[in-house]
Structures are given as structure tokens and as C-alpha cells.
């Protein structure tokens, strides 16, 4: 009996995965059959087959076929031939499962184009002031935590996972110290200070502050953080967000965005649960009436009459915009005067103008150091992080 044909129509995206790559869009191709993960032999596997696999995984297509090391266990497929239009790798021609003449040194891998994303279960709302997020609904939202002298860790800033070993946050989160050992990153969190089953906590190997960030002013309030060990993408509570496409139109008041964080709420200094808020964006020419220092690399969000906003402790967290069926990191929560005050919207660092800086650092270029020295000045502006001093 040909089990294959039966399973072919039932296979879902969950039956295919990428393993062993340096980022979420590449790796050895593995397929699950009878509940066991196995590999695919490179014999006759070409770019058309890679396209089918990448599309099945939610990417725009494939860049290349590549080897990502030998897997182990079953070699499930051999002689895979696709014409490129198949919806599922199992719709391509191939040998029966486990019928192969390969070794694991021939395990095939792919490099996919663009960004893939699980479907997130966002409870959409227009409630002013924000409300509790559905646990796991923003799987890329991270907490930057700081170590106090008594070795206790506290939430300092929000951040966003953009690749297995990289997060983006605000530069000003590190104004007090740029020492990686003072910080750690928590992912998969809902209750920020509790120990949770699905959380992953990792140390930082390096902090990259944007070279044109100015501690006295607000421009270029963006930082990249490299994690010591890669985060495990579980496709449920932990996942990466997509970055904007450089060809895309810039964010404007037409876009549909949310912020999420553990920052200050109306009643409390910080929130124990992850709070989300829908944020209307404002065009820059309008916001410039309220903030003279606004640059084109920033965008404002919030209602003119106030009432909903990001606030202290949300800093560094994502401005998440739904575009082309995916959630993109449109901005980084940066600053504002007060929170949710009329005529004082929140200001976000746009991410699109920084794509080449981000890519150059993530592309393992030599380390770029900040031109600013460590300082502990007293802040007169209301940056959106919890201020602290090291003892």
C-alpha cells in the first residue's frame, strides 16, 4: 500500500523544518514522517525543490540549495524532483519514504528568501490604555533584564527577537552601563517576574549601540544585541518577527500597528503581565508641531487626545505593524514627554532606515564600538525605560 499518497495530502507545514542554520531562514531540511524527523538526500534536489520547501515553510521562495552538516537518524527522502509549482514537497516526484542510497553527508539544506512567521493569535482591540495580551501571542517580545547589586534581575526594557541570536532594542536602555554581563534577555515571557515553563533566558555576548546615537539627544535610539547562545524557536511562544523590506513604502498613518510591553500602566509603575495596545501612527509633518526634534528616522504614534501610549519600561520594545500578511518590526519604542498625555504622542525609532546598519552588524562584520563613553548623567528627558543606578 502506498502510504505516501495518503500522507501527501495531509502533510502540514509543521512536518517540515530547518535545522542547523545561522538564522531562521536557512538550515538542513528535515521532514517528519510517522512522527519521526528525518533528512532529505541532495540527489537531484535542485532550486525548484528548494522553492517548494521554502514556500511550504512560509517564505517567499528559495535563494539557494546548501549543505548544513550531516543530520542523524532516518534519511526519509531521496531523488526529490519538483517542477516548482507544487504546494508541498510531498507532491514532488521522489522515492518511497526511506528508500535511498545516500549517507547523511548528502543531507540537503536550503537558504530561503524573506521572512517566515507563525500565525499569531492576536486579540485585536481598540481599547484605550491597553489590555493583557493573549499569552504567547507576541512570541518575539523580549525582556531586557538588569542585574542589581544583590544579584536579583529586574525588567529594564522591552526588546524584539529578529533572529535566533539577535535582538533589537533602544540604545538608551544601556545608558547606565554597556557591560554585557550586567544584562540578560528573557523570551517566551508573559508574567515578567515569574519563572515560567516556556521562558528562555540567555546571556548577552555583545551590545552594539548605533554609532550616531547621542545620549543627550534622542536620534538613532537603536541597539543590536548579540546573544551568547541561540534562542530555540518553538513556533509557539518564541519566534522571530519579520523586518521591513527595504523596497516597502515607509510607515505612515495608514498602517496598523501595536505595541506590547511590561511598562508603566495607568495604575502601576510596571505591569506584571504583557500588555498590548493598538497605536495609530501619525504623519511626521503633523508630529513635528509637537516635537521639534523629530527626525525622518522617527515616527510618532498615539491619539492626539492622549489616553493610550507606550510608557516607562516599554522602551526598546517593538512597534509591530501588520503588513503583507506578516507582523513586521516597524519601530522601536523610544521616547515621549510623559505618557498618554494630550498632544504628546510616543516617538518610535523607525527600523527601515537602519536596515543596512543592522545587516552589516549581523553579517558578522568586525565589531563596531560606540563612539560614546559610558556615562551616568542625570536624564532630563523622559526616555521610556525605568531609570536605575548601579551601586
**Catalytic annotation, residues:** 172, 221, 315
How many contiguous H segments (helices) and E segments (strands) does the chain have?
4, 19
Stretch that binds Ca ion, among 6-14, 38-46, 167-175, 315-323 (CB under 5 A): 38-46
Query: What is the SS3 assignment for 90?
Result: helix
Query: Least CB distance from residue 89 to Ca ion, whole Å?
Result: 16
Beta carbon of residue 113, minimum distance to Ca ion (angstroms, whole number): 27
Nearer to Ca ion (CB atom), residue 4 or residue 368: 4
CA distance 245 to 3: 41
Least separation in angstroms between CB 109 and Ca ion = 17
Question: Is 299 in contact with 285 (CB distance < 8 Å)?
Answer: no
Q: Which three cell numbers stand for residue 293?
A: 526634534
Contact with Ca ion (CB under 5 A) among 26, 30, 78, 314? 78
Quick one: 43 or 337, whose CB is closer to Ca ion? 43
Which is nearer to Ca ion, 13 or 79 (by Cβ)?
Answer: 79
Q: Count residues contacting Ca ion (CB under 5 A)?
A: 3
Give the residue with the Cβ less far from Ca ion, 41 or 202: 41
Q: Which is nearer to Ca ion, 24 or 106 (CB)?
A: 106
Closer residue to Ca ion (CB): 101 or 132: 101
Distance between CA 60 and CA 52 in Å, rounded? 10
> Pick from 144, 150, 152, 173: which is nearest to 391 by CA?
150
- Neighbouring C-beta atoms of residue 43, cutoff 10 Å: 17
The site string for Ca ion over 210-239 (x = CB under 5 A, - otherwise) reads ------------------------------
- Report, in Å, the least distance between residue 100 CB and Ca ion: 6
Which residue carries 506584571 as its cell?
272
Tell which one of 43, 91, 199, 212 touches Ca ion (CB under 5 A). 43
Binding region for Ca ion (CB under 5 A) out of 74-82, 224-232, 293-301, 380-388: 74-82
| DSSP calls for 120-157 | P-------TT-EEPPTTSSTTEEEEEEE-TTS-EEEEE
Q: Is 107 in the site for Ca ion (CB under 5 A)?
A: no
How far, rounded to the nearest angstrom, does the alpha carbon of residue 43 sit from its chain's CA centroid? 34
Residue 101 lies near Ca ion (rule: CB under 5 A)? yes
**Taking CB under 5 A as the rule, does residue 46 contact Ca ion?**
no
CB closest to Ca ion, residue no: 43
Pairing state between β 346-350 and 298-301: antiparallel
Q: How far is CA 311 from CA 95, 252, 275, 340, in A?
A: 57, 21, 11, 8
Q: 43 or 199, CB closer to Ca ion? A: 43
Beta partners for residue 187, in sequence order? 200
Could you tell me the smallest distance in angstroms from the CB atom of residue 204 to Ca ion? 45
CB of 91 to Ca ion, least distance (A): 19
Cell 502510504 belongs to which residue? Answer: 3
DSSP element (H, E) containing 287 = helix 284-287
Contact segment (CB under 5 A) with Ca ion among 71-79, 104-112, 123-131, 263-271 equals 71-79
- The answer to whether the beta carbons of residues 11 and 52 sit under 8 Å apart is no
Distance, in Å, from the CA atom of 95 to the CA atom of 99, rounded to the nearest integer, reads: 6
Q: How far is the CB of 79 from Ca ion (least distance, A)?
A: 5
Stretch that binds Ca ion, among 42-50, 54-62, 294-302, 323-331 (CB under 5 A): 42-50
According to DSSP, the residues that pair with 111 across neighbouring strands are: 26, 64
Q: Summarize as ranges the residues that interact with Ca ion (CB under 5 A).
A: 43, 78, 101
Amino acid at each position: 500500500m502506498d502510504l505516501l499518497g495518503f500522507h501527501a495530502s495531509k502533510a502540514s507545514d509543521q512536518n517540515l523544518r530547518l535545522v542547523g542554520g545561522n538564522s531562521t531562514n536557512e538550515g538542513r531540511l528535515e521532514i517528519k514522517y510517522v512522527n519521526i524527523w528525518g533528512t532529505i538526500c541532495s540527489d537531484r534536489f535542485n532550486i525548484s525543490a528548494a522553492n517548494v520547501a521554502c514556500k511550504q515553510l512560509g517564505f517567499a521562495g528559495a535563494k539557494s540549495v546548501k549543505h548544513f552538516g550531516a543530520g542523524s537518524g532516518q534519511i526519509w527522502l531521496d531523488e526529490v524532483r519538483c517542477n516548482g509549482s507544487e504546494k508541498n514537497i510531498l507532491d514532488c516526484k521522489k522515492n518511497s519514504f526511506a528508500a535511498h542510497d545516500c549517507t547523511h553527508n548528502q543531507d540537503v539544506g536550503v537558504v530561503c528568501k524573506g521572512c517566515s512567521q507563525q500565525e499569531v493569535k492576536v486579540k485585536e482591540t481598540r481599547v484605550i490604555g491597553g489590555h493583557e495580551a493573549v499569552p504567547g501571542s507576541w512570541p518575539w517580545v523580549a525582556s531586557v533584564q538588569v542585574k542589581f547589586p544583590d544579584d536579583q534581575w529586574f525588567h529594564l526594557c522591552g526588546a524584539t527577537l529578529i533572529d535566533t541570536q539577535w535582538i533589537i532594542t533602544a540604545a538608551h536602555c544601556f545608558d547606565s552601563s554597556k557591560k554585557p554581563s550586567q544584562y540578560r534577555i528573557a523570551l517566551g515571557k508573559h508574567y515578567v517576574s515569574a519563572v515560567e515553563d516556556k521562558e528562555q533566558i540567555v546571556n548577552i555576548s555583545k551590545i552594539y549601540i548605533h554609532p550616531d546615537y547621542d545620549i543627550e539627544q534622542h536620534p538613532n535610539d537603536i541597539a543590536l544585541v548579540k546573544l551568547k547562545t541561540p534562542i530555540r524557536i518553538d513556533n509557539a511562544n518564541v519566534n522571530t518577527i519579520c523586518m521591513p523590506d527595504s523596497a516597502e513604502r515607509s510607515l505612515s498613518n495608514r498602517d496598523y500597528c501595536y505595541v506590547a510591553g511590561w511598562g508603566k500602566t495607568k495604575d502601576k509603575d510596571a505591569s506584571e503581565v504583557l500588555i498590548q495596545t493598538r497605536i495609530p501612527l501619525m504623519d511626521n509633518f503633523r508630529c513635528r508641531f509637537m516635537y521639534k526634534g523629530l527626525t525622518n528616522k522617527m515616527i510618532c504614534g498615539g491619539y492626539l487626545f492622549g489616553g493610550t501610549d507606550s510608557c516607562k519600561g516599554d522602551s526598546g520594545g517593538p512597534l509591530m505593524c501588520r503588513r503583507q500578511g506578516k507582523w513586521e518590526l516597524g519601530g522601536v519604542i523610544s521616547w515621549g514627554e510623559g505618557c498618554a498625555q494630550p498632544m504628546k504622542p510616543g516617538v518610535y525609532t523607525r527600523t527601515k532606515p537602519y536596515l543596512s546598519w543592522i545587516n552589516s552588524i549581523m553579517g558578522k562584520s568586525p565589531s563596531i564600538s560606540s563612539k560614546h563613553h559610558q556615562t551616568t548623567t542625570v536624564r532630563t528627558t523622559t526616555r521610556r525605560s525605568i531609570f536605575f543606578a548601579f551601586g
